[in-house]
Chain A
């Protein structure tokens, strides 16, 4: 534990610590944060979604990208597991299929960092009705 000897120390300490509760703060404002949802139903887990999720959590942090990684249920694309849905602020969610660590790396480097589309996007060919009955 370091003693805070100057205001600069405090500021530095705060910056280092902010990461720890970042997950909580971004949870309060999901619309302004990059969101990565990994499908973790039986099919996803069986195809290695857990590894992919860990990869995202660790790599996003290593590369200094503030994003929240959560898991979600089966999206229905069981043939293409593991599937990952990425939402950049202000963009519609995109679903990627057959995501392994290499693909995940590509998604981070190209799509998340630069907004560049990569292969493997599963087109959304359906409409869903949310709980309020309003069409999306």
Chain B
């Protein structure tokens, strides 16, 4: 096969795919065929580039041109100008929002400058459906190395020395977990990959599985070698169809190449992996609940100890790690523990992937070294707040985390710093909020989620969170009292201290952190019945300013409940007892006659 002189990398992550990147790839292939260039130029569907905000993304190599927001309509021009004549299509380049200059090389973008890609090293670089490209990028080399050159104990020592900690949220030392599983004696052990990513707005694990499934397969096999397990299970939620499809494909290819199965690389080591589907219950991200779900029981947690490392799946020792944790393992084996522990902070080594979302300019997937400050992530990598608004808070750790404020912006991100600030690392969701977000509503939103997702096994979580939600709901409706605020805090502390599993123990975090950091906003809702972000509908009233109203009847016609009355060319009125505060009239009015307070 002739070597292609040019590679067109099209992002095939879920984000870009939903903006038609597969049509783009198809059209590119067709156009190349029409121009008789298929032998010279290759179109590759890769995993996520991370810069989802600017998708679909097309990267042209070797000249390293990074096109953003490419549509099938641009295909002809790209082929005619760039592929044939070597002239980049300037209008599709990324424009730096600060300098307003066009940037063609991704290394010149603020978004990528602070990033170090270990976990995401192959995302946006290889075709995840082609094992050969993965092998060319060292896939399975770490497995080969441990199988032929290292004992299980030596391998565990390397992981321990690297300082890698669980990326699923808790931050438990990975090497220690492996060691405990390895030391447990049993006729059968299991390796489990937790791909039950349930935080709203988080998509780190999905992107790794979609962009580089072989790294996870390889790391699970390495774990199997270390712990003495011959069976692996990936627990993945059924609502990740693309990740499942690519993982299945990767598993089949690995078997075909003899990299999974019996007697791997002639060393006598046997290992294979099965996929188990989750129905998308948040609690099943908790390892004991996950194991019960895999066994076919209800997804409910049980008390620890015994830990899964001692008694897990079917009562056998089971090593459970999250996708991102596994993805760190092969580079550590190949490059050494010292290399890995040189990145990061004293107690948190390596990098962390964050799914940056919310009111930030560069929504996307970012991987930064531990110890990077929140300010760097939000304002440099993230490009600051959308629409030039004011930063208000950042929520880390999903429903289990907390809201941090302006004063925490210079906090160096690691497990311990986030915990002491009242939030947590979680699996890596990072939601940025601006002045238009009401913190009471945010807390209410997360509680609504936890109430929905609580498995109901223990009463603090089942009943307590429901009561917390009701209190928050009452406050957002303007019926709260000052005693309610004390009740919120007391109840939160009880739930935190008495719940059975991590879900319940951390569920009050959004309430506690907003109470601590935005107490005045709660007080405003209670005493003044005011929501400064104008988010709590029940605290708002719409009214018409008589001097601006010309009586055009536009508002009356758009009102879905007929709350607005008035004759043509006369001042209109809103009947507040009927108004549902949808805001449609305000949007429709051309004369700035409708106000909200």
Contact = CB atoms under 8 A, between A and B. Distances in A.
Interface of A: 1-7, 9-11, 13-14, 17-24, 26-28, 30, 33, 37, 40-41, 53-54, 57-58, 61, 68-73, 131
Contacts of B259: 4, 10
Contacts of B257: 1-4
Contacts of A21: 7, 125-126, 133, 136-137
B266 A5 contact: yes
Interface SS of chain B: loop
Contact of A17 (B5, B7, B133, B147): B133
Given A1-B257, A20-B136, A68-B62, A10 B144 contact: yes
Contact of A13 (B4, B5, B135): B135
B7 A23 contact: yes
A44 to B, nearest CB: 9
Which of B2, B3, B141 neighbours the largest number of chain A CB atoms within 10 Å of its CB?
Answer: B3
A130 to B, nearest CB: 12
Given A2-B257, A23-B7, A30-B64, 20 more contacts: A1-B257, A5-B266, A6-B266, A7-B148, A10-B259, A11-B141, A13-B135, A14-B141, A17-B135, A21-B125, A21-B137, A22-B3, A24-B125, A27-B7, A37-B86, A40-B84, A40-B86, A41-B85, A58-B2, A73-B85
B62 A4 contact: no
B87 A73 contact: yes
A23 B6 contact: yes
25 contacts: A1-B257, A6-B266, A7-B145, A7-B148, A10-B135, A11-B141, A11-B144, A18-B136, A20-B3, A20-B133, A21-B126, A21-B133, A23-B4, A23-B7, A23-B62, A24-B7, A24-B9, A30-B64, A40-B86, A57-B2, A61-B2, A69-B5, A70-B6, A70-B62, A71-B85
A20 to B, nearest CB: 6
Contact of A28 (B64, B86, B135): B64
B61 A27 contact: yes
Interface string B242-262: 000000000000001111000
A17 B136 contact: yes
Given A7-B147, A24-B9, A19 B3 contact: yes
B100 to A, nearest CB: 12
B5 A23 contact: yes
Interface in B72-118: 84-87, 101
Contacts of A71: 84-86
Nearest to B2: A58
Interface string B1-24: 011111101000000000000000
Nearest to B85: A40
A112 B185 CA distance: 61
Interface in B24-71: 40, 61-64
The list of the 5 closest CB pairs from A to B, nearest first, reads: A71-B86, A27-B62, A27-B61, A17-B136, A68-B62
A5 B258 contact: yes
Contact of B86 (A19, A24, A26, A70): A70
Contacts of B488: none
A4 B144 CA distance: 10
Contacts of B40: 54, 57
Contacts of B7: 21, 23-24, 27
A26 B265 contact: no
A26 B141 contact: no
B132 interface: yes
B62 A24 contact: yes
Contact of A23 (B3, B126, B144, B145): B3
A59 B85 CA distance: 21
Interface in B121-145: 125-126, 132-133, 135-138, 140-141, 144-145
A21 B259 CA distance: 21
Contacts of A53: 5
A18 B382 CA distance: 34
Contacts of B101: 131
Q: A18, A20, A22, A26 — which one has the most chain B CB atoms within 10 A of its CB?
A: A20
Contacts of B3: 19-20, 22-23, 57, 61
B63 A27 contact: yes
Contacts of B266: 5-6
A14 B133 contact: no
Nearest to B259: A4
B82 to A, nearest CB: 9
A101 B140 CA distance: 41
Given A14-B135, A21-B126, A70-B86, A4 B258 contact: yes
A20 B62 CA distance: 12
B140 A10 contact: yes
A4 B63 CA distance: 34
Nearest to B140: A10
A17 B137 CA distance: 9
B115 to A, nearest CB: 14
B133 A23 contact: no
A27 B240 CA distance: 32
Contacts of A4: 140, 257-259, 265
A23 B7 CA distance: 7
A33 B144 CA distance: 29
Contacts of A7: 144-145, 147-148, 265
Nearest to A19: B3
Contacts of B144: 7, 10-11
Contacts of B140: 4, 10
B47 to A, nearest CB: 14
B181 to A, nearest CB: 25
Contacts of B84: 40, 71
Among A13, A21, A70, the most chain B Cβ lie within 10 Å of the Cβ of A21
Contacts of A27: 7, 61-64
A131 B140 CA distance: 43
A26 B62 contact: yes
A26 B6 CA distance: 12
Contact of B265 (A10, A57, A68): A10
